[in-house]
Structure 1
């Protein structure tokens, strides 16, 4: 998952320092004017309309990337026209270029991560996990806690959305006929996946953005482990008594892992180490380490393809027909990346960046963080993310660039990451599970337990303020 008031992320500053200075000088008077200019009002209106379509995605069927991409192009066209009329025709161009560099860094990181997750899925790792859980013959309550614990533990590694989908598949396979169990288990999975993703830079888009922006060191994210654990355990304990007793019938299904599954997991671990190492020790953007790791996956895919071709020839010569040798195409896994999500990030970063270019984010930061104080403002960010989604909220906070210490940046990372659990529509995991468990996990079934999720939200904040006091320096 970076931002600053007038576009100047770390990568852009290092690559285009000479160009950024005059752009910033030119943008300052433009910002002061655009905030009360018709073009600024148009930008706000168009972004609001586009985001209404994003929120209504479930009802309209319009993919969320489409309205924000259209709005981004239209808004910047209007702002460029207005800037030109003000005598600074290059200001909008420089701003867009800087935000594009920022988006490119995020895109390449996520593309590598998504490709690895898709590769592990294609090799049967997640299906094997599902089948193994089914064979254990767990009761409904044991399954409730097992799927929640696995969601909490896996989401820091493979992201909260993928984790939630895998665990929901398990729940549906064993409890398809028990609507109450499915609803409670899905709520538990959404909360656990979002909470687990909050204490790892790889667990959520928001944590990734904060880490790549240099606001929080890699190791400091793990200080959110206890707050995240409290955020999950409190609502889980509240729901426990409502989970049905008894046990579903056990399954004897066995899923065979395809060739190279273990090696791909090992390569993914190496890729994570490379991303951290490039950032921590070489002071290079993390995406460069991720892309290096992606190259390793592609080389291994080339090896698997050669082995498959050789074995097919051998099978054909011996038996007269090619056998099943589990060929692997790394480019196919790249194509399977969630492009709607990746393009949605483009639209959001460009739209929110346009509001920053107009000066609205600077004004909002002054009234929001200056008026409420950092702690109250960061708690409110989490509550708002349940309705407005955590990604645009975090983009806005990073572009506001309020002066905060590590403790406050950790707080807003935590609240933005777990605040979406308050409503089923507040996070990608919740929206995805409403579709996967259609009719059993719904907006209202989640809303019934929102009070318990809110208790977990408050408990997590309290734990963070208590156990991570050393990160608060008063700035």
Structure 2
């Protein structure tokens, strides 16, 4: 069964990476084969927290897609698009830097999937107004969301898993992760012009036309905008206070979507057309395939190898976890990876007497998983969501187009993170 799980996953992953077939077909086909051959079953695929579909992620996405679908009817995305383009004076580079920084900051206080769901439509509109290709902008924003989301407990789903296993608090993440994130974002701004070179040419006539626009005229329904704003405030408050309220973000998103559907008066077809069903089904197939690797012990065996190699040496353990997490989170989604790796890290911390160095293992896991999610198109949930939105808008992002940029950015961020961990927890501690 182990061999079958590995072979099916590798074949599906190759199909996704090479785009020889649609990624949804590869993911669902791989999941179907594993279910048909008995490598996994309905109990493990649909009901298990460790080896099944992460329904919290699925329903969080569904709820936010419905909210965004209704919000789009207000014209607020057009407003923000024109505002951003005018503030950047039509410069594509300044537009990219402005939108990526908005994305990074928002991702620290929301989850990064919600942030990209809100910012992607704005980006598509800005680029359409300026007559430029939105793909580099969307890729840059995804990277910024994964980096910015690392700063807080709620910013990236793997952080929530780590916090539940380790007992680390919201403030712990702010104190330990936010300084590194700020450093990385500065470097990211410096790297963006080089990483996306050739993407900043624009027709001066287009810029002139944009500068003449009045963003206030873009708002089509002010009453609906107020309703959406109130619901979004409630949803965001629920996200931030979910650990106190003991209500999962997925439930908050669904409740928000339900309330907005009731009070908005928007026709069902208008908001349901914004739901990325292909993206949701792709996630389900991917979760089942990765869950099969967990069920058959493949990922667990890899994690145990890390434990055997470290032999209680804290610095080696930290660097190994950082590197392995960055690599594996680029291959499989970082959510199931962290769910599998967390128990191993917990065991490793018990063998390290220095509490500061033991805690550094958790930060290495969070940094490696969050930043490693930038490496490939399937490394993080936000990546898959944006690729789905881009495809629907007629601007497909290929696996390798994303990965060529993502691997470079991941390498840069991990190279920054390694000395940060060494200095903070082993030299200056």
Whole-Å separation in 1 of the counterparts to 2:376 and 2:247: 37
What's the counterpart of residue 124 of structure 1? 75
State the number of aligned residues: 388
Whole-Å separation in 2 of the counterparts to 1:293 and 1:439: 30
Structure 1 residues 361 and 464: alpha-carbon distance in aligned structure 2, compared to 1, 3 A threshold:
same
Partner SS for 1:260: helix
Following superposition, the deviation at residue 145 of structure 1 comes to 2.9
Moved more, 342-351 or 195-204: 195-204
Superposition map of 1:171-250 within 5 A: 172-173=127-128, 176=131, 188-200=140-152, 203-207=155-159, 217-223=169-175, 224-240=177-193, 248-249=207-208, 250=211
1:155–1:197: 8 Å Cα contact kept in structure 2?
yes
Determine which of 239, 242, 259 is the counterpart of 1:296. 259
1:120-147 C-alpha deviation (Å, 9 max, x unpaired): 2332222210011233425455434323
Whole-Å separation in 2 of the counterparts to 1:398 and 1:349: 12
> Does 1:135 find its partner at 2:79?
no
Determine which of 105, 112, 120 is the counterpart of 1:165. 120
Whole-Å separation in 2 of the counterparts to 1:358 and 1:446: 28
Whole-Å separation in 1 of the counterparts to 2:151 and 2:262: 31
Give TM-score scaled by structure 2 length.
0.72
The root-mean-square deviation of aligned C-alpha atoms, in Å, is 4.2
What's the counterpart of residue 84 of structure 1? none
For structure 2, list consecutive stretches of 5 or more residues without a partner in the other structure: 311-316, 347-357
Partner SS for 1:225: helix
What's the counterpart of residue 95 of structure 1? 44
> Does 1:382 find its partner at 2:326?
yes
Partner SS for 2:219: coil
Whole-Å separation in 2 of the counterparts to 1:351 and 1:441: 21
Structure 1 residues 256 and 448: alpha-carbon distance in aligned structure 2, compared to 1, 3 A threshold:
closer
Partner SS for 2:14: helix
Structure 1 residues 69 and 221: alpha-carbon distance in aligned structure 2, compared to 1, 3 A threshold:
farther
Following superposition, the deviation at residue 424 of structure 1 comes to 7.1
Whole-Å separation in 2 of the counterparts to 1:447 and 1:94: 38
What's the counterpart of residue 353 of structure 2? none
Superposition map of 1:435-446 within 5 A: none
1:77-113 C-alpha deviation (Å, 9 max, x unpaired): 42369xxxxxxxxxx5653432487633333333223
What's the counterpart of residue 415 of structure 2? 458
Give TM-score scaled by structure 1 length.
0.66
Structure 1 residues 296 and 217: alpha-carbon distance in aligned structure 2, compared to 1, 3 A threshold:
farther
For structure 1, list consecutive stretches of 5 or more residues without a partner in the other structure: 1-38, 82-91, 306-327
What's the counterpart of residue 414 of structure 1? 367
Whole-Å separation in 1 of the counterparts to 2:397 and 2:27: 31
What's the counterpart of residue 17 of structure 2? 55
2:90–2:130: 8 Å Cα contact kept in structure 1?
no
Partner SS for 2:37: helix
Structure 1 residues 40 and 364: alpha-carbon distance in aligned structure 2, compared to 1, 3 A threshold:
same
Following superposition, the deviation at residue 353 of structure 1 comes to 2.0
Determine which of 279, 296, 302 is the counterpart of 1:341. 279
Determine which of 294, 303, 308 is the counterpart of 1:365. 303
Whole-Å separation in 1 of the counterparts to 2:255 and 2:141: 32
Structure 1 residues 122 and 231: alpha-carbon distance in aligned structure 2, compared to 1, 3 A threshold:
farther
Following superposition, the deviation at residue 376 of structure 1 comes to 1.7
Determine which of 213, 221, 226 is the counterpart of 1:252. 213
1:151–1:193: 8 Å Cα contact kept in structure 2?
yes
Structure 1 residues 102 and 385: alpha-carbon distance in aligned structure 2, compared to 1, 3 A threshold:
closer
Structure 1 residues 290 and 368: alpha-carbon distance in aligned structure 2, compared to 1, 3 A threshold:
same
Partner SS for 1:458: helix
Following superposition, the deviation at residue 152 of structure 1 comes to 1.8
Determine which of 80, 104, 110 is the counterpart of 2:61. 110
Highest CA radius of gyration, 1 or 2? 1
Superposition map of 1:463-474 within 5 A: 463=420, 469=425
1:340-399 C-alpha deviation (Å, 9 max, x unpaired): 22222222222222222222232221113432524422333223444x25x1x4313312
